């Protein structure tokens, strides 16, 4: 068996659900599309996207010595219906990918093990050790486009990578290497006439199929966006307090989803009561979300999101929880709390009529 076949087999033994190979220069459409995205301002406050476009658009420039890229998918398919919590407005909806341990840590360790194996095996076949670099959302790498070029799946109308073998609940990682490995064929689009993901989006974040305006996406608004969220968009957040899964959850290809590669993704965050989350201070927040990706956004942005969710809950009994936050030292939390008080007071008045 050749090195290419053995590395693919090894990746599956490590727990990846699929592995394929492409050349670093296999994504010629990306620079233009990325530039259009940034020029239209669709990256919002994610200034780091605009700053490192020369690499994100062109993986061959990121590491000119690389000859091959092994693209890998790691399943985190949920065991529950991720949309069920949207019917429970008193609870906070946390997206599937943030239920357990931070995927960057788990996937990176697996990639490094695969990379070390590749160095050993490559050294046996060549004069001198091959070099590798591993990435999982840790560098300006266009992971979805490379994934499609390698044949892992295709970028669906919701812009994420979808596969006929594993649906769309998977993280994407890569091993860049100086080894020459036989590239695989790119995957073609299998969305057909489906538009389920476009139609379900609560904030109309898709200006067109295959294009996302991150500024309207709840994932961006709850995780990346600093300061107050536009009032027009707040009702669309519903009770989603960290990320959003709606467009992923409705994809019909998920009937082929395979179980999560690592039980640590199915962790313990759950869908906690909003009343409880509204009381978190800095220390309480850090203790509760240690090891979780949620920790990254800090207490203030998280409690801001909780206040919007309470404002959308229609639950007048949650009024005291936001009244306690109207003078919060963080201006965005205080603003969100005042908005929530107004929303709930209006609900209460309507109920009294
Ligand atoms: C920035 C970012 C975000 C931003 C912007 C998302 C976006 N779609 O661009 C925000 C914060 C909104 C976000 C949200 C999410 N993210 Co994110 N994110 C990233 C990140 C860091 C960069 C993505 C990027 O470069 N975007 C820039 C735009 C221009 O790129 P693009 O979407 O690929 O756009 C292409 C298409 O529009 C296409 N295009 C344009 N016109 C046309 C026309 C046709 C016909 C076609 C075919 C294509 C096409 O060309 C563009 C360039 O390639 C990647 C990690 C990485 N390093 O790649 C993770 C990543 C994409 N995110 C991921 C995840 C899991 C999510 C969420 C599901 C998390 C959640 N549950 O809340 C949501 C999904 C929201 C969504 N519908 O996309 C995973 C996706 C895994 C997968 N199966 O694809 C990634 C790959 C991280 C990882 N390593 O696993 N994310
Ligand atoms: S993650 Fe949610 S808000 Fe963002 S595009 Fe998908 S459905 Fe819309
Ligand atoms: S929901 Fe439909 S349109 Fe959207 S990515 Fe899946 S197959 Fe494509």
In contact, 230 and 248? CB cutoff 8 Å: no
- Would you say the CB of residue 195 lies under 6 angstroms from ligand 3? yes
Residue of minimum CA distance from atom 2 in ligand 3: 194
Average pLDDT per run of 10 along the chain, which is 353 residues long?
95 97 97 96 96 88 95 95 97 96 93 96 86 93 97 98 98 96 98 98 98 98 98 98 98 95 82 97 96 96 98 97 98 98 88 76
- Would you say the CB of residue 86 lies under 6 angstroms from ligand 2? no
What are the beta bridge partners of residue 120? none
Cα separation, 44 vs 38, in Å, equals 9
CATH 1.25.10 fits 272-353, yes or no: yes
E-only strand ranges, 38-156: 68-75, 93-94, 132-135, 154-155
Residue 196, helix vs strand vs coil: helix
What's the gap between Cα 199 and its chain centre?
A: 20
Which residues does 88 contact at the CB level (< 8 Å), separation at least 6?
Answer: 239, 271
Q: Do domains 3-83+96-177 and 272-353 have the same CATH topology?
A: no
Residue of minimum CA distance from atom 2 in ligand 2: 244
- Would you say the CB of residue 219 lies under 6 angstroms from ligand 2? yes
CA of 54 to the centre of ligand 3 (A): 30
Active-site positions?
137
**Token pair 């000859």: residue:** 67
pLDDT, one tens digit per residue, over 236-254 is 999 999 999 999 999 999 9
According to the model, what pLDDT value does residue 272 have?
96
In contact, 181 and 7? CB cutoff 8 Å: yes
- Would you say the CB of residue 194 lies under 6 angstroms from ligand 3? yes
Residue of minimum CA distance from atom 4 in ligand 2: 217
Q: Where are the domains of the chain?
A: 3-83+96-177, 272-353
Ligand nearest 164 Cα, by number? 3
Fold classified for 3-83+96-177: NADH Oxidase (3.40.109)
């Amino acid at each position: 068996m050749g090195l290419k076949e053995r590395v693919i087999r090894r990746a599956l033994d490590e727990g990846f659900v699929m592995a394929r190979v492409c050349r670093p220069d296999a994504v010629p459409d990306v620079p233009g599309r990325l530039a259009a995205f940034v020029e239209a301002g669709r990256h919002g406050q994610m200034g780091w996207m605009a700053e490192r476009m020369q690499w994100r658009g062109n993986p061959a420039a990121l590491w000119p010595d690389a000859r091959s890229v092994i693209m890998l998918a790691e399943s985190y398919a949920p065991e529950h219906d991720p949309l069920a919590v949207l019917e429970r407005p008193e609870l906070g909806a946390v997206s599937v990918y943030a239920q357990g341990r931070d995927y960057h840590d788990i996937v990176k360790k697996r990639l490094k093990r695969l990379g070390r194996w590749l160095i050993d095996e490559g050294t046996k076949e060549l004069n001198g050790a091959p070099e590798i670099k591993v990435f999982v959302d840790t560098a300006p790498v266009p992971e979805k486009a490379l994934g499609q070029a390698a044949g892992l799946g295709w970028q669906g109308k919701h812009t994420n990578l979808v596969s006929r073998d594993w649906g769309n609940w998977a993280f994407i990682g890569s091993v860049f290497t100086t080894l020459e490995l036989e590239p695989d064929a790119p995957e073609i689009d299998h969305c057909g006439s489906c538009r389920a993901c476009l139609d379900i989006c609560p904030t109309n974040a898709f200006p067109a199929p295959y294009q996302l305006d991150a500024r309207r996406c709840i994932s961006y608004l709850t995780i990346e966006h600093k300061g107050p969220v536009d009032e027009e968009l707040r009702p669309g957040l519903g009770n989603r307090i960290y990320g959003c899964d709606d467009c992923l959850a409705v994809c019909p290809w998920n009937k082929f989803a395979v179980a999560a590669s690592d039980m640590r993704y199915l962790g313990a965050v759950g869908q906690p009561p909003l009343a409880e989350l509204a009381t978190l201070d800095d220390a309480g927040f850090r203790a509760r979300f240690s090891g979780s990706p949620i920790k990254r956004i800090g207490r203030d942005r998280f409690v801001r999101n909780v206040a919007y969710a309470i404002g959308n809950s229609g639950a007048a009994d949650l009024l005291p929880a936001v009244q306690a936050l109207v003078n919060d030292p963080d201006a965005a939390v205080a603003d969100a709390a005042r908005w929530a008080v107004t929303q709930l007071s209006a609900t209460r008045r309507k109920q009294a009529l």
